[in-house]
Structure 1
């Protein structure tokens, strides 16, 4: 969701944290076509009869690491995880169909069909990835049996943008850039600002590594009501999980549930996680896991 502030990296990203390296080493890497390159999928766990695979879409200016604190609990719960780097982010090539959520739908759907065959997944989308998931299921209702939206934008609730971010690429040194990264994390992603440098700097390190690999500088759909307009086409159950202090909505957060109920044909409810902001699954992983397990039944 970091918009035009973060595009092609001008310098190498710093080394990834040990947790990311360890989880990355445990994953199977699959690729499917995406324009002039590959759509990269990170896969953990094994298929289980009668249990749908979980497909997780990360947020804008992100990668699979948006779920770094959730992968091991989901594996312990016996779930098989498929987590792509969305087109234009992380290790994945840019979609030839455009640099916003609507341009990602076909490469992602074709990738799902290629990798999962006739298996139907349960789809979890965080932020920009939630909007992308809604567009994908509106175009291809057969792709998933359930949709869980986490901190998703584009519900047409807020009258104007609720946050402002600062540019950083023009700054001459890494320390000055890091100050801006901290500001942006506090402005949008995290309610508990102590987490920016806490956990051995995990949030800040992930954020820097991710925004430096964002190749999509002009995304605009997140500031529309396109998700609300897409949900009526979905026949599957729809659930919502948000941080109670999500910076996308702020005082408008309590209008969201009614907006979902008005848009989704089979809306199963919304969970607000206390003391959490936009990046709710990172900030409150235990509470998020409980809410997600409840949504998945």
Structure 2
């Protein structure tokens, strides 16, 4: 083994989460899994570009007429209720049902779940269909855990992510899903273990649908390794935050950060990921 390889191995040993994250990134680029996205109208463009830049293949298929033919061929499913309508909900349920029947992972983003009774009821019904992962901001996770309308400002959170850790653990236990809470620290729990992903920066919250995009990246990482959804979720959150950090070095504001975030996600290299991914245990 040469010195360069030895140094690389030593570096990897000091940050196992960084090593895991790079494994997901490299596998994603090699396998290019097909990710079906039933998502809100605002987020489609950013989600598609996020998945493409990371190495996945996105498909914005939401018609219930296409679910029986298309969903069985996907490697993972994303359901995001941001612009939920009564017409879209049956397709979401049907796709989740197909994913479950075929043992494919699926990820739920309960956007603004506490904003209306219709939205809350729909999300509760979707949770009953056993998502692999649920990702939301603190206010969303609290509202979904309690099953009640919450204090929200549209899709924005009025709570810190740390405020929702206990709610996330409760939701994980009751649903069987891995639950992620986005915020200044992104928390991930399976009901027992809790880790925090510390990458990212506040400016990312000024990009419309950035939360939706990271949920899509979670769906892609989970497609690579469904048996380890906890680890995949934490790594996806950290990698997305890291891409934002790198992109901010070239950005002047939210619009240019959006562009540079996508470019940075595309251009991530092993050394940077292993060195800069920061995930810690809170268990």
TM over 0.5: no
Task: Give the structure with the higher percent helix.
Answer: 2
TM-score normalised by length of structure 1: 0.35
